[in-house]
Amino acid sequence: MSQAPLQWQVIESLPFAENCYILYRCDGGECLVVDPGTEPDKILAFLDQHRLRPRVVLNTHGHADHIAGNAFLKQRWPQVPLWIGRDDAPKLTDPQANLSAPFGLPLVSPPADRLLEHGQVLELGVAQLEVFHTPGHSRGHVVFLCRDTQPWLALVGDVLFAGGIGRTDFPDGDMDQLLRSIREVLFRWPEETVILPGHGPVSTIGQEKRHNPFVGTGVDS
């Protein structure tokens, strides 16, 4: 029997307008939670409404606005594992490194249960996700590509936005690395690939290739 279509829901958290994504197949089943933000009560309300339980919590990177809900979800579901890219794992438990302390609101997340590496394929039941290491916004940033759908679906965190790119003025940011991550990883995917960014609206690889003012057609390499 074929699986139900993959569905996704975005839940925006203030004050940074950060996007958490929930991937699921049908009500009353397992789901994947990606980058739970600063308003985890919204996430819990959606999960309870649709009778969903997380199979895993995934972080694209370790900045505070993308990890703030980790502890809340782990408190509700202690056995649910937390996975993040290897080089960003130290940020989870370091308020200076995750940039919460400079804002006067130091927070920590539970430590990672698994460290993710470039090229891993995660068989998660709800979806199969491929891990790509995409440094530039942060040293250990990863994106998750799902080829189970047509078109493909990519959870790109703060690498690429609709009409923008991630900041690189943080301690481990690097503009050259970020541009390489976009051009050598993301822009090699089919143009119809849907990108789910960490902030702002959904876009596609083709849209950003043609029109993104930072990395689109006509921008100097």
Amino acid at 125: G
Residue at 217 is within a domain: no
Q: Is residue 153 part of a domain?
A: yes
pLDDT at residue 221, rounded to an integer: 47
CATH of the domain at 196: 3.60.15.10
pTM: 0.96
Residue 120: how many other CB atoms lie within 10 Å: 15
Asked if the structure places residue 220 within a domain, the reply is: no
69 found inside a domain:
yes
pLDDT tens, the chain, 221 aa long: 567 899 999 999 998 999 999 999 998 899 999 999 999 999 999 999 999 999 999 999 999 999 999 999 999 999 999 999 999 999 999 999 999 998 888 999 999 999 999 999 999 999 999 999 999 999 999 999 999 999 999 999 999 999 999 999 999 999 999 999 999 999 999 999 999 999 999 999 999 999 999 997 766 54
CA–CA distance from 80 to each of 36, 95, 142, 160, 214 (Å)?
Answer: 13, 23, 20, 28, 38
Phi then psi for residue 41, to 5 deg, are -60, -35
What is the structure's pLDDT at 216? Answer: 78
Range of the domain at 12: 7-211
Does residue 216 sit within a domain? no
